[in-house]
Amino acid sequence: MSLGFGNLARIGQLYPSGGLVDYEPQLMAPAGVQFLTTRLPFRSASLESDRRLADALEEHVQLLADAQVDLIVFNCTAASLVIGPQVINARIHAATGIRSITTIEAVLAALAAVGAKRIALVTPYMAEVVAEEVAFLARFGFTVVAEKGRPCTNPIEQGELDPQGWIEIAASLNGCGADAMLLSCAGVQIAPVLPALERAFGGPVVTSNQALVWHALRTLNIKARPAEYGALLAGAFDHDAGLRAAG
């Protein structure tokens, strides 16, 4: 790859069309890693919208392949768990020949890496989506012992949430008996407050965009780690457990 902005890697990001926070993976990426984004139709935060997010996947993912990206990330936590990461990855590879990962795979790998089994789940989801995620996590051996949210009906509302509100929720969950807090959603502003979230919760915090960047770097064998976006992304928990969980 030639020298330039993406001299370490170019990563293609598939992102919900109504989402406002597609810039966060780039913000958290180390120098030399470039994210390029193509959007998938998504206007409502309902479970049905999650199920339909990949309806035209092959058409949209080809636009990322045109940029000769090294990896494609399907960046929507709820949709990737509802549709299924294996289904999504198989379709992307069939359409482009390029390897891919999904947000939910990154989340599972991150939870395994921090040694969490008991989870405090925090989301901006409607109740039907929360229930789907709790059931999904249970199938992989994770128990949600506490759950709080700021429910939104659409991705615009999710992206406009004041990130300071997540700190208040994290503080309220301190001492709840969870091994880690999972703040699930690629559509909420998190990057500016990640260290504060960890301090407020008093333990490991995994967030969707943070986990996605971390897992993408590991997938591409890129050693660089930014220090300002939480312990996970800084490399404090890098070991084989995360990769085994994502396999």
Whether 243 shows a pLDDT value over 60: the answer reads: no
Q: What is the pLDDT of residues 15-24, one digit of tens each?
A: 999 999 999 9
| Residues of the chain above pLDDT 90, percent | 94
Mean pLDDT of the chain: 94
Asked if pLDDT for residue 135 goes beyond 90, the answer is yes
| 32-46, 111-125, 155-169, 230-244: range with lowest mean pLDDT | 230-244
Q: Model confidence at 6, in pLDDT bands (50, 70, 90)?
A: confident
Residue with tokens 């902005």: 5
CA end-to-end span of the chain, whole Å?
27
- CA 62-63-68 angle, to 5 degrees, is 85
d(CA 52, CA 111): 27
pLDDT surpasses 50 at 99:
yes
> In the chain, what are the domains?
9-103+213-222 (3.40.50.12500), 106-209+242-246 (3.40.50.1860)
At residue 149 the predicted structure's pLDDT band, cuts being 50, 70 and 90, is: very high
Classify residue 56 as exposed, middle or buried by CB count within 10 Å of its CB (0-12, 13-18, 19+).
exposed
Neighbours of 127 (CB within 10 A): 10
Q: Per residue in 50-64, pLDDT tens?
A: 999 999 999 999 999
For 218, the token pair is 């590991």
DSSP reduced 3-state for 49:
helix
Q: d(Cα 38, Cα 43) in Å, to the nearest integer?
A: 15
144: which strand partners?
119
Pairwise CA distance, residues 61 & 174, whole Å = 40
Strand ranges (E), 41-98? 71-74
Give me the pLDDT at residue 244, please: 35
Give the chain's length: 247
Q: What is the mean pLDDT of residues 131-153?
A: 98
Overall average pLDDT of the 1-20 stretch: 86
94: exposed, middle or buried (Cβ count in 10 Å: 0-12, 13-18, 19+): exposed
pTM, 2 dp: 0.94
Structure token digits, residue 121: 């789940």
Banded model confidence at residue 4, pLDDT cuts 50, 70, 90: low
